[in-house]
Amino acid sequence: MSKTGFFLNLLLFSFILSASLSFGQSAFKKGLKRFDKGEYQLAIQHFEKQAAKDELAEESYFYIGECYRLSNRLSSALPFYEKATKKEDIDEKAHYYFALALMRHEKYSEAKQVLEAYLEKAKDTAFKENAQKLLSNIEVLKINLSSKESKFRVKNMARINTPGSEYSPFYYKGFLYFTSNRHDSKIHQATGTPFTDIYKVKTKGAIIDEKTIEPLMQSFNDYGTHEACFSISPSGKTAIFARGNSGKRKSTKDVNLYISRRVKGVWTSPKLMKCNHPDSWNSTPVFSRNGNTIYFASNRPGGYGGTDLYSATRNSKGQFAKVRNMGPQINTFGNELFPFVSKKNRFFFASDGHPGFGGLDLFEATGANNTIVVKNMNRPINSPSDDFGLFLYSQGKGFFCSNRAGGKGDDDIYTFLNTDPDKKTVKYYLKGITYENLDNEHLQVLPDTEVQLLSKIDNKVLGIVKSNKRGHFRFRIYEDEAYTLFSKKESYLTSRSDFDMHGRALRPEELVKQETTHEFEIDVILNKLELNKSIVLKNIYYDFDRWNIRKDAEQELDKLVALLNDNPKIRIELSSHTDSKGEDLYNMDLSQRRAESAVQYIISQGIEMGRLVAKGYGESLPIAENTLSDGSDNPEGRQKNRRTEFKVIELLKEETKPAEEKNSDLEERLFGE
């Protein structure tokens, strides 16, 4: 399925034959019936039979061209539009689309001649206006585009692409989501190709682990229906995608947007979104950076051309229902679709209405003083074929889709890298100091401590260093990646600290030098492995008079779970303490319940029950004064006393887990094999 395989059920336009034509030919009539149903591949077979009889040949060629165009195969339509236009009174659309097909084959001079000849006799106002705009675009192409080439290096992602169609890449936390028709056995009658589903694969930037490719769950992929264009909100709690008409009685009329929410780690059943127009095509959705707006394409009434770009913002009920057309500076007489908003709030989209090379091209829109400037991204990103579906996962690095010549299949996913020698770059480093926790209040530099930099996604070791005599260490890190620092030293408990680069990168306008070095700082704190030494767990809070574990407490207890997994030789007592408010016996009982609740949570995360002891001490072991010397209340002291602690009470015989081997492709970031 070429030209923007995103056309799930396709844009079904009905073209009715003029009453002056003869309907006596059975093959032609059968072709028209299939055509009107959108079954273009079957219609082509009937029109070819009719054309072979030399009766209604030009009309048949016109409809064959239309079938290829409407099933997103405009390049294949070229010889048929050419034959159709030899007839003087053929439908005016044939001349316009003949010129478009010529541009797909980089025959810009021939396309110009066709348009100029057509404009001399054009009667259809709409197509005449579009032809004039297209002619103007060809002039812009010759002057501003053909002689330029952007500073990008482009490569086909052969590990993910198939002879079928792969498109609409979306990168989120180590997974690349994409659309493909690789495995579906049911054939779509419009294109003669299988239906599309949504897949995901583990990846580090553009380095794909093809063994992990798998379709999303069945609730997202419905057999015999096109699903495509998957997108997740920045919070990770909401997903949207497009789904086509299933052909069932209760199905929607066209392609629509669906939404699913992540509740307790599980995606809910997708629901039809409020922002859809019920009788129109709605697809290619993406979230804004704050997640409160989505951008998508639709051919609903009131637009400026074929498909326009729209935005929809959340209403008071949390629904994306306030829909707004993005206006004539973005939208044209052609098709605009596949919007994308980068982490730097740069807006990209695909269009065949703005000046381009022939098919869909990728554009960047920038705005200032109420004026929007749309810039073609030029070659090698763009080509005479369809180029669309851009996604930036890092500064100057990303994915896009194309059905250009030389690909592995139909629509393919490509990677690109900005190689502009004048591009300003930033090298990021994470530096820190290793400390020993002396008494929950004071720290002391801990030299010669091994620190490992782990990938947050898969826990692979990316680098290993030892802190120097002053406890200092440093790692090279990269934009939009998440890390864990794993630290260990003999006779000390291991330590884990997280560091996430998402949202921390410097803005381009902040860069002055050609190459900038920027450092982030983090402290690593280890506790000496001593029996019965109490270690305070910070930020473990309970609701008043309650003992159930809150969400914020779960995050802190997860750190203790990691510590127990990293130190399998230890058995601990987990204790809860209160301040002096309330009766002694009540506080003792409440603290015991809280300690038991915390232990049960840890057990639920896979830690053996025998390694844990729950103990409530009530108010019996304060570490600060509950009241001041004058008898007044001491809120700070009470806060310190309301604490959760753990201490090692026994050393077991299990051996410590060996560290993982260092990842051999630490420096491999893009185009790695």
Question: Which domains are present in the chain?
Answer: 26-145 (1.25.40.10), 152-418 (2.120.10.30), 424-529 (2.60.40.10), 531-673 (3.30.1330.60)
pLDDT in tens, 542-554: 666 677 777 667 7
Pick the more confident residue, 9 or 427: 427
Cα 485 to the center of its chain, rounded Å: 26
Worst-scoring range by mean pLDDT, 245-259, 338-352, 609-623? 245-259
The pLDDT value recorded for residue 519 is: 96
User: Euclidean distance between the first and final Cα of the chain, in Å?
Assistant: 27
Q: Is the pLDDT of residue 203 over 80?
A: yes
Residue 559 falls in which region: left (phi positive, over 0), alpha (psi -120 to 50) or beta: alpha
Q: Tokens at residue 366, please?
A: 């920038």
pLDDT in tens, 85-100: 999 899 999 999 999 9
Cα 419 to the center of its chain, rounded Å: 23
Beta bridge partners of residue 613, listed in sequence order: 573
Radius of gyration of the chain (CA): 32
**Averaged over 646-652, what is the pLDDT?**
86
**Confidence at 481, pLDDT banded by 50, 70, 90:** confident
Pick the more confident residue, 672 or 147: 147
Cα separation values, 103 from 306, 454, 483, 534, 601, Å? 19, 50, 47, 75, 64
The pLDDT value recorded for residue 87 is: 93
Measured between alpha carbons, how far is 205 from 382 in angstroms, rounded to an integer? 22
The pLDDT value recorded for residue 176 is: 96
Beta bridge partners of residue 365, listed in sequence order: 347, 374
**Averaged over 343-361, what is the pLDDT?**
91
Percent of the chain with pLDDT over 90: 51
**Averaged over 240-258, what is the pLDDT?**
79
The pLDDT value recorded for residue 569 is: 87
CB-based burial label for 30 (10 Å; 0-12, 13-18, 19+): middle
- Cβ contact 599:615 at 8 Å: no
Q: Is the pLDDT of residue 387 over 90?
A: yes
Phi/psi for 206 (5° steps) reads -105, 10
Cβ contacts of residue 445 below 8 Å, gap of 6+? 433, 434, 435, 436, 470, 471
**Confidence at 666, pLDDT banded by 50, 70, 90:** very low
Worst-scoring range by mean pLDDT, 20-24, 273-277, 453-457, 619-623? 20-24
**Averaged over 176-201, what is the pLDDT?**
82
Q: Three-state SS for 143? A: helix
Helix axes of 26-36 and 57-70: crossing angle, nearest 10 degrees: 20
**Location of structure tokens 């130190």:** 567
The pLDDT value recorded for residue 475 is: 96
Q: Three-state SS for 557? A: helix
Q: Is the pLDDT of residue 414 over 50?
A: yes
Of the candidates 79, 148, 100, 108, the residue with the CA atom closest to the CA atom of residue 3: 100
